[in-house]
Copies of this chain bind each other. A is one copy, B any other.
């Protein structure tokens, strides 16, 4: 699978910082980056008045010799200790590896694969896992290994064990549920916090669970949408990353709502993957901060 032109290792980083809000954070952090020869390409911050927390994302670039992300992290150690920070430095040359799962509707999968293949989404897709065979040919055409892992109520433990094995084998750091219509076990959700992204075909918290387009039709809403969210053990209750939406009217049957909704699902999921891949999403309880 063709990947987008990557940054050179050790030249571009994203720094993410969270800590209690107080005077001097930006000055302290920017001082360390200055010493490390790192220019601030872009920076966003958010002081959350309701929690007293401060969050920062810096996109950094280096002119001189490359440097390791660990080295930058180490240089920040004193500041991290002083301010009680959670901090991480990510080398942008190392793309996130997102294993994709799908069932029998392929519009989201097709959209992601085309974007990745044409350089439009900065992730790697090391493998595709499905409980059906429908999209083996599509996966293989894109040069992505495809694994059929059937699952029934009785075999879910075995299926999830196989999934965990595949995540390890392919060194995937995240899982993208591109219309995978099985509920993951609470333990699996708990073991990958902030690392599994689902696309649900409603504007959550409206219309959780099964057949959201039918629910939307029955309730007679005038707008439908799709929600990309991190998966937690509470079904359709995880922190929302992105939502897209469109006006609809009484003439549209559930099937027509589904057709229109497919576009929304693909767009919301792709944006969520991008922001996740670019370390723009900070997870705080039931909410996300998305530094666009």
Contact = CB atoms under 8 A, between A and B. Distances in A.
Interface of A: 22-27, 30-31, 33-34, 37, 39-47, 49-50, 106-107, 110, 114, 118, 120, 141, 203-207, 218-223, 225, 239-243, 245, 247, 249-251, 253, 259, 262-263, 267, 286-290, 292
Given A47-B41, A106-B118, A110-B114, A290 B250 contact: yes
Nearest to A55: B250
Contacts of A43: 26, 43, 45
Contacts of A118: 106-107
Contacts of A286: 218-220
A33 to B, nearest CB: 8
Contacts of A289: 250
18 contacts: A23-B37, A24-B34, A25-B40, A26-B30, A40-B45, A46-B250, A46-B251, A49-B253, A107-B114, A107-B118, A110-B114, A120-B259, A141-B141, A203-B221, A203-B223, A218-B286, A219-B240, A221-B240
Contacts of A267: 263
A82 B15 CA distance: 27
A39 B49 CA distance: 13
A85 to B, nearest CB: 16
A220 B240 contact: yes
B262 A120 contact: yes
Nearest to A250: B289
Nearest to A216: B205
Contacts of A45: 40, 42-43
Given A114-B107, A250-B46, A223 B206 contact: no
